[in-house]
Chain A
Amino acid sequence: MASPEPTAADDASATVAPADILVIVAHPELEHSRANRRLLDAARALQAESEPGRLAVRDLYALYPDYLIDVGVEQAALAAARLVVWQQPIHWYGMPPLLKLWLDDVLAFGWAYGPGGTALRGKDLWLVASTGGPEDSYRPDSYNRYFFDAFMPPYEQTAALCGMRFLPPLLLHGAHKANEYDLASHARTYAQRLADYPAWPELELVEDCVACEVPPNARPADRVKEAA
């Protein structure tokens, strides 16, 4: 079953190799993407020239077109990484559905958080996101009404609950209208940062995350919504 194209989730287990940097890419329509496809290409190119065990790229929509995530494989990939990257477009002020499902399934109670859930503690999480609207649309007097920072808390708290450091995100606003030059330079920046990690100057300024302890009798956070 050695098919290079990601067609079935069954193949996922065969392709996972542990790496320091785990790039999780989630874009439901990569064929229409301007920014994320370039970023994915850049990450893949870097993966190809890096030594084995440095960088792994997992394109979720290609690996799991049927939305059937292989939890064991994903957890193994996470456990091996020091830096986890979520590379995604911002859709409806949040993450694409498969990335959300990935969170629901992979960041399990008792593994990623809650009693005994320490698998991700001490790792870094870096959000690399693009928005279609320009930066000045994220203002109280424009159609997105909030500064972009207002949409970050779910991400930050997800990292915090798992004991991960939430690194300053790399954002590209106005991806719909970005010109070739801007897109190319954005992709270069992305690749450079991946290549440099962990030698980022600003890392010294990022505080270590204090793990949020979930009491054993607490209702798992991800199930409140489901039962409601």
Chain B
Amino acid sequence: MEHGAWINGSLVYLAAAVLAVPIARFLRLGSIIGYLGAGILIGPWGLKLVTRPEEILQIAEFGVVLMLFLVGLELEPQRLWALRKPLFGWGSFQLFGSALLLALGALAIGIDWRLAVVAGLGLAMSSTAIGLGVLGERNLMATTSGETILSVSLLQDIATIPILALVPFLALSAGAEGGDGGGWLGAAKAIGTIAVIILGGRLLLRPALRWIANSNTPEIFTAASLLLVVATASLMNLVGLSMALGAFLAGVLLAESEYRRELETDIEPFKGLFLGLFFIAVGMSIDFAVVLAQPLLLTAAVVGFLVVKAALLWGMARLVPIPKLERPVFVILLAQGSEFGFVVFQLAAAAGVVAVPVSSFLIAAVAISMLLTPLLLVAADRWWIPLLSGSKRATQGLELNQPQNNPVVIAGFGRYGQIVGRMLFANGITPTVLDHDAEAIEALRKFGWRVYYGDATRLDLMRTAGADKARVIVLAIDDIEQSVDCARMLRENFPDATIVARARNVQHYYELYELGVTMIERETLDSALMSARSTLELLGWQPHQARNLALRFRRHNVAQLAALAPHRKDEARLIAAAKQGRQQLEELFAIERQQATERQARTGWSDVPSEAAPKP
């Protein structure tokens, strides 16, 4: 009955998730709590529908692997290189600082040093799955706190290798000697594997993906995307490296490829499902026998390690420095324990460093801290962050909480939104301005701009911002996905509001266009046309003629864009139509040059230096 077991398992997991997550979201607790709750419910201590959570946890860890692949996709190699300082600097500071403090604390209350070291290292880790998941959910990846959390998580992933090697060594058994001999070979293998992934990624991946994409079978491209992640992960696993790290590397290598968006859309649903399964498994692995046996001690342990880590993180947040309003999220996300702690404690128990009940106790502590994290975030949103924003500037809180009714709402106040906003201000219009980058907002506020902190894709926030009363909503968000989400939300909830949107590129333009947004400007078109004008002028065209040509090029280009909208998904037709359009414009310009020359010849002025037809 192998089949039956598989199908029953799926039934249980899917049903639990489908029931618990919407309920949790309805209670505004976030989906992670929903999954954890579902796990507790169906686990050995709930309805006993699933009894061996460890097995599921192993499968579900694939969710973390997929997530790091997606994180890698968002991170071009140059940006990763720029992260090296926070990665090794702040990452090591957090991990080893926390481990040291925790171990010292454990020693101080008289715990055996080996246990203190294992507990310190295991508890110092922070859950990548929850951390990056929350960052993604709140669109904080590009902020200072987001980058610091990512750096710390990556360093923790790298550190898993030596830490796992260290645990058996602590058991003081002969196994450590043998492990040492293989160490050099292991290191060489590890470096070799990373080199293979980087080289292979650079040289082979793109041609391979192109070949697969040309087969025009969508499910094969999806399969290839998954295969890519699985292959990298298993290669890393083979040489004892972190699978997630391998997937991350593969992601970074593909961050610049033309298939980035496709890979993202293909992997995204798998990531979501596997991560959900992962959180369910975490919920299931909370051993309530341990919890019930020593409730006070367990509470003390959880609170103790959270407080120690939080104190260190708070200091770190001030040193980095992380903008004040991002600090609560930063501290909470990194203070929690990590799924990796499970592995460390299980290994330590297997190696005999710690007793099995102690290991279960520590695992329970970690799982509870992970369960607490989303709750703490909700609490921070309601009480801590308002307190922070109120404490320093009582009169002008960064969070938007008073309903606004300005005629214009500007969502996104980066390079683009600022120009729109400045021109409006200069003409006596005060728009309501939203941005989600607390750091930028603090800087802008120094210059006297009233910019509010908030995620413009949130319906309640837009309502407070006055989207229902505003005559125009300027959508100047730089992130394409966020921009499209925001446009969709606005079209659904405020169909009467006129949206004036910024498009990063043609695909973005079409996505907005299909949502019914009519006033869309591509962000580079007009500045590029100004450069084209300058170039023509330098080549001898009259400035006014260059202007006319640029304007007519623009009109043609915009009209063509609208004409091509129906074919936007059909690449071959799109290219053909675009070529045809370009040819039409060239022919049009050529005919006009010809006519101008004829007119001058006809009137006997052809020997005069020409204004209308400069030599190209």
Contact = CB atoms under 8 A, between A and B. Distances in A.
Contacts of B562: 1
A9 B603 contact: no
Given A9-B555, A10-B559, A68-B555, A3 B518 contact: yes
B603 A219 contact: yes
A217 B601 CA distance: 10
Given A2-B518, A226-B611, A220 B548 contact: no
A7 B552 CA distance: 15
Contacts of B602: 217
Contact of A223 (B552, B555, B559, B603): B603
A130 B603 CA distance: 38
B292 interface: no
Contacts of B605: 219, 227
Contact of A66 (B519, B551, B611): B551
Interface string B537-581: 000000000001001100100110010000000000000000000
Contacts of B608: 227
Contacts of B603: 217-220, 223
Contacts of B518: 1-3
Nearest to A9: B555
B543 to A, nearest CB: 14
Nearest to A227: B605
B25 interface: no
A13 B518 CA distance: 16
B374 to A, nearest CB: 44
Q: Main secondary structure on chain A at its contact with chain B?
A: loop
Interface in A5-47: 7-10, 13
B540 to A, nearest CB: 18
Contacts of B599: 109, 220, 223
Nearest to A13: B559
A68 B548 contact: yes
Nearest to A224: B603
A42 to B, nearest CB: 27
Interface string A72-88: 00000000000000000
Contacts of A70: 555
A167 B611 CA distance: 37
Most buried by A among B555, B599, B608: B555
Contacts, number: 34
Q: Main secondary structure on chain B at its contact with chain A?
A: helix
Interface string B329-363: 00000000000000000000000000000000000
A218 to B, nearest CB: 8
Interface residues of A, number: 19
A223 B605 CA distance: 11
A212 to B, nearest CB: 18
B555 A7 contact: no
Contacts of A219: 603-605
Contacts of A8: 555, 558
Nearest to B604: A219
A218 B602 CA distance: 8
Contacts of B559: 10, 13
A112 to B, nearest CB: 15
B579 to A, nearest CB: 21
A8 B520 CA distance: 12
Interface in B593-611: 599, 602-605, 608, 611
A70 B558 CA distance: 14
B552 A68 contact: yes
A3 B518 CA distance: 7
Interface in A174-188: none
A66 B548 CA distance: 10
B500 to A, nearest CB: 10
Given A10-B559, A219-B603, A227-B605, A68 B551 contact: yes
A220 B596 CA distance: 12
A9 to B, nearest CB: 6
A7 to B, nearest CB: 7
B234 to A, nearest CB: 51
Interface in B108-153: none
A30 B518 CA distance: 25
A219 B608 CA distance: 14
Given A219-B603, A223-B603, A227-B605, A10 B555 contact: yes
B116 to A, nearest CB: 69
Given A2-B518, A3-B518, A223-B603, A10 B558 contact: yes
Given A220-B603, A223-B603, A227-B608, A3 B519 contact: yes
Contacts of B548: 68
Interface in B503-544: 518-519
Nearest to A226: B611
Nearest to A3: B518
Contacts of A109: 599
B519 to A, nearest CB: 7
A219 B611 CA distance: 16
A47 to B, nearest CB: 23
Nearest to B562: A1
A8 B605 CA distance: 36
Interface string A205-218: 00000000000011
Nearest to A219: B603
B519 A7 contact: yes
Most buried by B among A13, A226, A227: A227
Contacts of B611: 226-227
B331 to A, nearest CB: 48
29 contacts: A1-B518, A1-B562, A3-B518, A3-B519, A8-B555, A8-B558, A10-B555, A10-B558, A10-B559, A66-B551, A68-B548, A68-B551, A68-B552, A70-B555, A109-B599, A217-B602, A217-B603, A218-B603, A219-B603, A219-B604, A219-B605, A220-B599, A220-B603, A223-B599, A223-B603, A226-B611, A227-B605, A227-B608, A227-B611
Given A220-B603, A227-B611, 17 more contacts: A1-B562, A2-B518, A3-B518, A3-B519, A7-B519, A9-B555, A68-B548, A68-B551, A68-B552, A109-B599, A217-B602, A219-B603, A219-B604, A219-B605, A223-B603, A226-B611, A227-B605
Interface of B: 518-519, 548, 551-552, 555, 558-559, 562, 599, 602-605, 608, 611
